[in-house]
Amino acid sequence: MAAVLVFAGLALAAIVFCFTLVGLLLKLAFRLILFPLFLLKWIVSAVVMMVLVPVFALVTIVLTVVFGVVIAIPLLPLVAVGAILWLLIKSNGRPAAA
């Protein structure tokens, strides 16, 4: 009984191996046939990225400045209060020794 199970397992492994081998051969054949199209895809992707990366960089810089201003505007009253306090403290201090 155990020999039958071992033989069934080996048969199943052989079938899986055969299907895997056929799949790999088909994949290799498709890769060889379609290789020029893969090269064309890579070239087109590279050209598109050469155009889009600087555009995305500029958009990122502009958005960073815009969001910085949007976040900083509500804090301007606090900056004004801090500047007034700094001027009051500086004007009341002792003058530096000459």
Question: How many whole angstroms separate alpha carbon 82 and alpha carbon 8?
Answer: 84
- The phi and psi torsions of 97 (rounded to 5 degrees) equal -70, 140
Give residue 19's pLDDT.
96
- Name the pTM for this structure: 0.48
Give residue 47's pLDDT.
95
Give residue 93's pLDDT.
65
Give residue 89's pLDDT.
85
Mean pLDDT in order along the chain per 10 residues (98 residues): 91 96 95 90 95 96 96 91 90 66
